Amino acid sequence: MRLKLNLDLENEILPIQYRKSIISFIKLSLLEYNEQYYKKFYNNRDTTIKPYTFSVFFCNPKFIEDRIIIENKRLELNLSIADYETSIILYNALNHQKNKKFSLDKNSWTIKNIGVSLDKQISSEKITIKFMSPLVVRSHFKDKDYYYSFNYEEFKDMLKINIRHQLKITDIKEDLVNSFDIEAIKAKKVIVKFYEKKIETSTGIFKISGDKQLLKYLYDAGMGSKRSSGFGMFQII
């Protein structure tokens, strides 16, 4: 299931690290609506694999140092959720926040409406996609994280490792990842500041191929690392 939330801002200034605010908003919504789900996803220092991702769309934003100027004072929050139960919980939790102010640093937002899109079926083993939020490919070695954009030699292999990890909460066989492939069509590297780190990511248009069940899960849950922090969401074009 995909949710589209239209949010109205109190003023036109949004922190450059708006993902932190979105995460806090989802946490608050779950905590107030269903504490059991909050503890399931966020009671372990955010290390739990989550079956969803999100992206944010701004209309004609201006990026100035540590802030974003959004003249129309509106933003669109898109969530994609892989399983029905979590979809219903998140929808109800966010709907419970409708018309309530959520405070930000020197700003606030309010949900005006929530739209719902039903699951999209994937009928081909090859699809062309466009990322709605940057793709993060990460490896962890000796307590240090390394990030790979699409032009790294290790990119595909590391992405497959990331995908195998995210499949641990599913019944999908990890062997299906062996035949997965990704090809950059019109891609670019983007450096994203996330908390205290600068992360090298990829965005743009790609072709991916593999088992239809695997592609469907990646479409619903997002692809790669840090998906529940607003990375790896894509649309089919």
Report whether pLDDT(45) > 70: no
| Residues 33, 100 within the same domain | yes
* pLDDT of residue 18 exceeding 60: yes
Residues 132 and 223 in one domain: yes
Tell me, yes or no, whether 77 and 160 share the same domain: no
Residue 12 has pLDDT above 90, yes or no: yes
Same domain, 105 and 142: no
DSSP the chain: -EEEEEEEESSSEEETTHHHHHHHHHHHHHHHH-HHHHHHHHSSTT-S--SEEEEEEESS-EEETTEEE-TT-EEEEEEEESSHHHHHHHHHHHHTTTT-EEEETTEEEEEEEEEEEPPPP---SEEEEEESS-B--EEEETTEEEE--TTSTTHHHHHHHHHHHHGGGSSS-GGGGGG-EEEEEEEEEEEEEETTEEEEEEEEEEEEES-HHHHHHHHHH-SSSSGGGT---EEE-
> Mean pLDDT throughout 69-93?
96
Domain that holds residue 222: 126-236
Q: Which of the listed residues 62, 93, 117 is the one where a domain comes to its end?
A: 117
Q: With both helix axes pointing from N to C terminus, report the angle between 18-33 and 84-95 in degrees, rounded to the nearest 10.
A: 100
| Polymer length of the chain | 237
* 60 pLDDT more than 70: yes
Does residue 103 sit in the same domain as residue 58? yes
**166 and 60 in a common domain:** no
The CATH number covering residue 82 comes to 3.30.70.1890
pTM (two decimals): 0.94
Where do we find the tokens 């290790």? 154
Question: 55 and 23, same structural domain?
Answer: yes
* Pair 111, 29 in one domain: yes
Mean pLDDT of the chain: 94
Q: pLDDT confidence of 134, banded at 50, 70, 90?
A: very high
Report the number of distinct structural domains present in the chain.
2
